[in-house]
Amino acid sequence: MTIGLDKKEAQLYLCLLELGETNIARIVKKSGIKRTTCYDVIESLKEKGLISIIVKKAKIFYFAEDPRKLERQLDEKKHLLSHILPQLLSVANLIDKKPTIRYFEGVEGIKDVYRDTLNHPKQELLAWISDDAVDYFDIDWLWNFYVTKRVEKKIWSRSIAPDVPYLKNVKTFDQEHLRQSRLISPKEFPFQVEINLYSNDKIGIMSFREQFGLVIESKKIYTTLKSIFEAHWKSLNS
């Protein structure tokens, strides 16, 4: 019963199969799962099509869908995989060392991406900067903690940033922040994510509006993006 379900999902689904059409109070009592957690698990099972809801006289009742849905869903996934597997294998064969990708959520997750760059002192960091950080990130943490730590660790930075008033002002601190900045037109080159290249094989990507970050570890991807950065850097006036 746990195929495609975690422990609590399987536990609650079995409970609903036994109870039939029922309310949240009986589900909590039967499953032994906390009420607040039950709602989260129910929502997850609803998204998987395994639980349905009906309303009777302004009261909400839950019931489990036919368990054979699990088998059908598994068959559908196998069918999809059989179609895309050859393409996936052909791509995999082109890469000597498979890149590792780590995903981070929320403002704290983005901070973790920044913190990872601090693990490589006395190296150069290359960055395409997004001014979205001003409105969608903890800008005080960025300048008062991160930049301070980067300077302490003697991590020099070269950045290409949008030519907007805020970042023009940031550029005036380049020398004390161990940074060289070059500015570009945000209309011609709208940077909607920030990209950091560091450690000779890592790429940090931060989407401030969407509140997530990625760290990709791949020498080939790093080398390619570094070449693009250098070409871009040379094309700009200091």
Q: Note the pLDDT tens digit of each residue in 3-61.
A: 567 888 889 988 988 888 889 999 999 988 899 999 999 998 888 888 888 888 888 89
Terminal Cα-to-Cα distance of the chain (whole angstroms):
63
For 47-92, write each residue's pLDDT tens digit: 888 888 888 888 889 988 877 777 777 777 777 777 777 777 666 6
Q: Give the per-residue pLDDT at 1.
A: 42
Q: Give the per-residue pLDDT at 133.
A: 93
Q: Give the per-residue pLDDT at 4.
A: 66
Contacts of 51 (CB under 8 A, 6+ apart): 13, 16, 42, 45, 62, 63, 64, 65
Under CATH, to which class is 7-64 assigned? Answer: mainly alpha
Give the start-to-end residue ranges of the domains of the chain.
Answer: 7-64, 100-235
Q: Give the per-residue pLDDT at 232.
A: 95
For 100-235, CATH number? Answer: 3.30.870.10
CATH fold match for the domains 7-64 and 100-235: no
Q: Give the per-residue pLDDT at 81.
A: 76
Q: Where are the beta strands (DSSP E) in the chain?
A: 51-56, 59-64, 100-105, 124-128, 156-162, 179-184, 194-198, 202-207, 212-217
Find tokens 């995903």 and name the residue.
103
Count of residues in the chain: 238
